[in-house]
Amino acid sequence: MKFFVDTADVEAIAELNELGMVDGVTTNPSLILKSGRDILEVTREICGIVSGPVSAEVVALKADDMIAEGRKLAKIADNIAVKVPLTWDGLKACKVLTGEGNMVNVTLCFSVNQALLAAKAGATFVSPFIGRLDDINADGMELIADIRRIYDNYGFETRILAASIRSVNHMSQAALIGADVATAPPKVIKAMANHPLTDKGLDGFLKDWAKTGQKIL
Ligand code: E4P
């Protein structure tokens, strides 16, 4: 499973990228707001750090306007994936923008039918939002599993990008189900390293080591 980082925080992206943890980046208007940066400027900077797909989201609602915004965003760098919402107009924009050779990430997907339409429109990525479904007592992970099954049934090449990931369990479950990509905030990716038995084991080893009176350096 590829790891995308769900942030527009350049420092956090650079830190994870140095460890080889970053296969791509996803941003959205809320994350741009949080960064306090200009969308074109910060996205260009991210594309200079990460070689994989960097999603930049359009904000227009009509297909023609989305296409114009998408073309402008795509000019930032070769690794831009234009992000469009899963609306009828977003699907039209997806078809045109992918036809022009751009990567397109169809976002805000909450049902298998929406995911089917994204695949038919030639989306490079579809982004089902796990956390936001869990928030309304639906099962976000079940949606990922259903989309996986349907895409495999028919050989759709659209990649499933598990989004709105809130916990380390979301990461492992998405990987078990076979999501192609998971995008998560930096803190979730870092938390994947944590285990209480690792901490306990380390504590025991260090206590015993102190008793040996030895030094390695
Ligand atoms: C994905 O591309 C979205 O930017 C993101 O995962 C949304 O996550 P949220 O529901 O935590 O805002």
Domain ranges of the chain: 2-212
**pLDDT tens, position by position, 143-187:** 999 999 999 999 999 999 999 999 999 999 999 999 999 999 999
Closest CA relative to residue 50, chosen from 211, 208, 186: 186
Nearest residue (CA) to ligand 1, atom 12: 164
Closest CA relative to residue 105, chosen from 61, 187, 162: 162
Percent of the residues in the chain that have a pLDDT greater than 90, as a whole number:
100
Confidence bin at 100 (pLDDT 50/70/90): very high
Q: What angle do CA 66, 67, 73 make, to 5 degrees?
A: 85
Which among 129, 133, 181 is the best mutation to test ligand 1's pocket, defined by most ligand atoms within 8 Å of the CB? 129
CA dist 44 → 37, 72, 87, 127, 151 (Å):
11, 12, 27, 22, 32
Start-to-end CA span in the chain (Å):
38
Give residue 149's pLDDT.
Answer: 98
Q: Using CA atoms, how far apart are residues 48 and 205, in angstroms rounded to an integer? A: 42
6 lines ligand 1 (CB under 6 A): yes
Confidence bin at 89 (pLDDT 50/70/90): very high
Q: Catalytic residue positions?
A: 83
User: Which numbered atom of ligand 1 lies nearest the CA of 31?
Assistant: 4
Q: Which helix (H) or strand (E) holds 154?
A: helix 140-154
What is the assigned CATH class of domain 2-212? alpha beta
Mean predicted confidence (pLDDT) in 43-60: 98
Confidence bin at 5 (pLDDT 50/70/90): very high
Q: Using CA atoms, how far apart are residues 6 and 198, in angstroms rounded to an integer? A: 27
